[in-house]
């Protein structure tokens, strides 16, 4: 979660090895995507992989979807440089899964078909709520996509030895084109397989590095920490290296912690993964698998991060072309030379590809299913036309994110900022409405709209007036200053406000809540009656 990889000509390792490992991943996943596409017939196939993915497979795919390049390179780097404060990120990202497990996953699997809006609009006026949910889905997905695309360009520049604006832009175009291809041909099933392969490679790669680092220190955590202290000083074990500077940074950290823990269960691409399994029990099983895999991975990151601090040292990391994000690749090089570096680099590219494919299919499904089929066609459209619209939307979203990704990369926009923004928007615009819809009998359409639009507008508005956008040396625009909001992450204000607006909007609305639809929602969500069935092939 740190600054974008700087674009410099220096590379580490052997670009040929990096390229060939990445190429092998692309070839294998393309073959699997083609095979997966043979079964893509209906909308349920395209959006939800026919609901035939098993709980275990889906758990792996969720881990593949969730562990983005920001997680892998960013957290290890943050731990290597800031020590303890980097560790705090991974805790927030993990604990957040309990919200999904206990309150959201099974209930949503039982009541939705394809998108988050299926649940949010269930007992409300369809048109306005679906439109609002689709807009917020598009915003969250686009911010997340931008971060990944910008990261891809920077990472490739670092590891493949290409440099210069044109070459980086070309890399973003190639990544975008591959992503569009996976989504168009493979649909949700192909995307799921790509994510499963990627999660396996990523977790295995991290495990190898973890064991290797621990072996250097006689499998003793205390000696590893001692190594990090010897290299960087005692403060790497203590809180505050990054966020303890002033009262504003402390509040900022609390704001970030809130956005992280409440954001996950509102991320549309995570929610959509719950619909790919046959039953709510499989949804539960997939979250349980995801929690163990993601938790295990973050424990590995702790060792990798402190290992990089101890064995590579923060000076060498910060001097490398990728800056803080180079910690894991540099540690791989230190441990296993060019081969291990090549593997880790290949895995990092694979990570970005799998995550962008998942985001694209979510955003395209939301537009086609919620806006086109339900709002524009009032649910009377042809399902085949809907899937066609979803495919066209995937191409448009891919093209837009290629364009914006190139701009973000060249403007040097911080990846961490974009990912944290996606979490903050998800926690502000989506989670309050999801929880009210599932658990509050009197919740109304007006409450839902106030909460979604209020959360979205306040969240993005506060970011525009934050020090991230203007007024400081490190801001996106340092030449003017409209920053009156002191925090870099808006969650501390926007999330409680969105909960409040959902309550207020409901209290002041004149419409009566739909008791019949609430009975249907509640009975369906807890018993699974009427839940969408798996497609038989």
Partner 1 sequence: MTPPNERKLLTPEEYRAAQDSPEFTELRRRFRSFAVPMTVAFLVWYALFVLLSTYAGDFMSTQVFGNVNLGILLGLGQFVSTFLITQLYVRHASKNTDPISDEMRTRLEAHEFAAPRNEETPRG
Q: Counting contacts by CB under 8 A, is residue 471 touching partner 1?
A: no
Q: Counting contacts by CB under 8 A, is residue 515 touching partner 1?
A: yes
Q: Counting contacts by CB under 8 A, is residue 238 touching partner 1?
A: yes
Q: Counting contacts by CB under 8 A, is residue 222 touching partner 1?
A: yes
Q: Crossing angle of helices 491-508/445-464, nearest 10°?
A: 150
> Do 153 and 406 contact (CB within 8 A), yes or no?
yes
Q: From CA 131, how far away is CA 351, in angstroms rounded?
A: 31
Q: Which is nearer to partner 1, 247 or 479 (CB)?
A: 247
Phi/psi region, residue 32 (left: phi>0; alpha: psi -120 to 50; beta: rest), is alpha
With tokens 């209906």, the residue in question is 42
CB of 99 to partner 1, least distance (A): 7
- Provide the CB-side half-sphere exposure for 286 (13 A, CA): 36
The footprint of partner 1 on residues 65-94 (CB under 8 A) is: 84, 87-88, 91-92, 94
Q: Counting contacts by CB under 8 A, is residue 134 touching partner 1?
A: no
**Out of 47, 144, 243, 503, which residue is the one contacting partner 1 (CB under 8 A)?**
243
Q: From CA 117, how far away is CA 445, in angstroms rounded?
A: 13
> Do 34 and 345 contact (CB within 8 A), yes or no?
no
Q: Counting contacts by CB under 8 A, is residue 223 touching partner 1?
A: yes
- Spatial CA neighbour of 342 closest among 77, 70, 19, 9: 19
Q: Counting contacts by CB under 8 A, is residue 270 touching partner 1?
A: no
SS3 call for 13 = coil
Q: Counting contacts by CB under 8 A, is residue 317 touching partner 1?
A: no
Q: Which stretch binds partner 1 (CB under 8 A): 31-39, 177-185, 239-247, 455-463?
A: 239-247
Q: Which stretch binds partner 1 (CB under 8 A): 141-149, 350-358, 422-430, 514-522?
A: 514-522
DSSP3 helix / strand / coil % (the chain, rounded to 5): 80, 0, 20
Q: Which is nearer to partner 1, 152 or 260 (CB)?
A: 260
Q: From CA 419, how far away is CA 463, in angstroms rounded?
A: 13
**Out of 41, 125, 284, 377, which residue is the one contacting partner 1 (CB under 8 A)?**
284
Q: Counting contacts by CB under 8 A, is residue 486 touching partner 1?
A: no
Q: Which is nearer to partner 1, 131 or 148 (CB)?
A: 131
The footprint of partner 1 on residues 361-400 (CB under 8 A) is: 374, 379
Q: Counting contacts by CB under 8 A, is residue 535 touching partner 1?
A: no
CB of 488 to partner 1, least distance (A): 15
Looking at the DSSP bridge assignments, the partners of residue 487 are none
The secondary structure element, H or E, covering residue 2 is none
Measured CA to CA in angstroms, residue 409 lies from 23, 132, 152 at distances of 23, 29, 9
DSSP for 428-475 reads: IIIHHHHHHHHH-TT--HHHHHHHHHHHHHHHHHHHHTSTTTBSSTTS
Residue ranges in contact with partner 1 by CB under 8 A: 84, 87-88, 91-92, 94-95, 97-99, 101-103, 113, 118, 121-122, 220-223, 225-226, 229, 237-240, 243-244, 250, 253-254, 257, 261, 281, 284, 288, 291-292, 295, 298-299, 374, 379, 515-516, 519-520, 522-524, 526-530, 532
């Amino acid at each position: 979660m740190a600054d974008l990889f700087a674009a410099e000509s220096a590379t580490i390792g052997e670009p040929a090895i990096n390229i060939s490992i990445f190429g092998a991943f692309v070839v294998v996943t393309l073959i699997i995507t083609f095979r997966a596409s043979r079964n893509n017939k209906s909308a349920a196939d395209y959006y939800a992989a026919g609901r035939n993915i098993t709980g275990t497979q889906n758990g792996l795919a969720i881990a593949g979807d969730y562990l983005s390049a920001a997680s892998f390179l960013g957290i290890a780097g943050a731990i290597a440089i800031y020590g303890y404060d980097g560790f705090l990120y991974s805790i927030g990202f993990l604990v957040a899964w309990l919200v999904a497990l206990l309150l959201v996953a099974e209930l949503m699997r039982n009541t939705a078909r394809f998108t988050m809006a299926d649940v949010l609009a269930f007992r409300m006026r369809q048109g306005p709520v679906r439109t609002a949910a689709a807009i917020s889905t598009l915003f969250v997905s686009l911010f997340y996509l931008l971060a990944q695309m910008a990261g891809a360009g920077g990472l490739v520049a670092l590891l493949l030895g290409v440099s210069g604006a044109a070459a980086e832009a070309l890399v973003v175009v190639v990544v975008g084109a591959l992503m569009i291809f996976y989504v168009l041909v493979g649909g949700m099933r192909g995307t799921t397989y790509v994510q499963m392969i990627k999660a396996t490679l990523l977790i295995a790669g991290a495990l190898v590095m973890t064991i290797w680092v621990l072996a250097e220190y006689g499998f003793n955590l205390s000696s590893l920490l001692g190594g990090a202290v010897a290299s960087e000083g005692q403060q790497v074990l203590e809180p505050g290296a990054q966020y303890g500077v002033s009262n504003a940074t402390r509040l900022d950290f609390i704001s970030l912690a809130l956005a992280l823990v409440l954001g996950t269960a509102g991320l549309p691409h995570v929610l959509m993964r719950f619909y790919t399994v046959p039953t709510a029990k499989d949804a539960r099983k997939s979250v349980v698998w995801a929690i163990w895999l993601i938790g295990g991975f973050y424990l590995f990151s702790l060792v990798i991060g402190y290992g990089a601090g101890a064995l590579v040292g923060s000076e060498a990391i910060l001097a490398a072309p990728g800056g803080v994000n180079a910690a894991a690749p540099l540690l791989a090089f230190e441990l296993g030379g060019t081969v291990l570096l090549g593997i880790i680099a290949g895995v990092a590219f694979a990570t970005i590809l799998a995550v962008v494919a998942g985001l694209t299919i979510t955003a395209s499904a939301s537009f086609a299913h919620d806006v086109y089929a339900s709002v524009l066609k009032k649910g009377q459209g042809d399902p085949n036309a809907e899937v066609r619209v979803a495919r066209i939307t995937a191409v448009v979203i891919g093209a837009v994110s290629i364009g914006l990704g190139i701009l973000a990369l060249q403007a040097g926009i911080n990846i961490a900022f974009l990912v944290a923004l996606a979490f903050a928007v998800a926690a502000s615009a989506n989670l309050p409405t999801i929880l009210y819809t599932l658990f509050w009998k009197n919740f109304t359409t007006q409450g839902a709209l106030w909460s979604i639009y209020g959360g979205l507008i306040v969240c993005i508005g506060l970011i525009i007036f934050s020090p991230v956008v203007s007024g400081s040396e490190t801001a996106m625009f340092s030449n003017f200053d409209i920053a009156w909001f002191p925090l870099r992450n808006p969650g501390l204000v926007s999330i409680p406000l969105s909960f409040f607006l959902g309550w207020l909007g409901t209290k002041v609305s004149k419409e009566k809540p739909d008791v019949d639809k609430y009975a249907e929602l509640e009975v369906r969500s807890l018993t699974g009656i009427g839940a969408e069935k798996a497609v038989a092939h």
